[in-house]
Amino acid sequence: MTSYRPKSGLEAAIARLIAPRVQQITEQVAEAARDNAPPTKTWKSQGDALVRPEHRAADGQEVPENLRFVVGSPAYDQQHYGAGPHQQLREPRDPEGTPGATVNCRCQTVSDPDGIARNIHAHPVTVSGSRIVGVVTCHGNRVVDSEFGTDKDDAARFMGRAIDEVARRLRR
């Protein structure tokens, strides 16, 4: 029986040689994630005395486009329509909302096509012995809910699709 023992430090040397390629792949995943990331939308009230208190509180709330805004329910709607303390609305005047939250609402949404994408970053790979780690991060309000979905909203899977796309290209 023959046995082979690599020279001490060979695995770490190979890892250092491979690290630049892993960095390229990490950058490709980040770029694909930016391409797949949904826009964000921001709730904007008119900012005047006629704005409902719940909508004033929602003003400036930014969420990924595939998710719903979380807006307070008026006390009347809680008492008479069985609404909880908050409603999840796709947009101002959402037909699924209660009347006190939607009727005569003058609020608007403002879309930002790069709202999530601008917060996706590839970080320098780290090499520790024979281990190489590439990291892509995404920061923002409710990005995890956007990626995986909620009980009411579908998953965007922008990070998951990015990994799938890059892996598919590498297999060719």
- For 152, phi then psi, to 5°, come to -115, -15
With H, G, I as helix, E, B as strand and everything else as coil, classify residue 171: helix
User: Of the candidates 95, 96, 103, which has an alpha carbon nearest to the alpha carbon of residue 54?
Assistant: 103
pLDDT in single tens digits along all 172 residues of the chain: 677 776 778 888 899 999 999 999 999 999 999 999 999 999 999 999 999 999 999 999 999 999 999 999 999 999 999 999 999 999 999 999 999 999 999 999 999 999 999 999 999 999 998 899 999 999 999 999 999 999 999 999 999 999 999 999 999 8
Amino acid at the residue 83: A
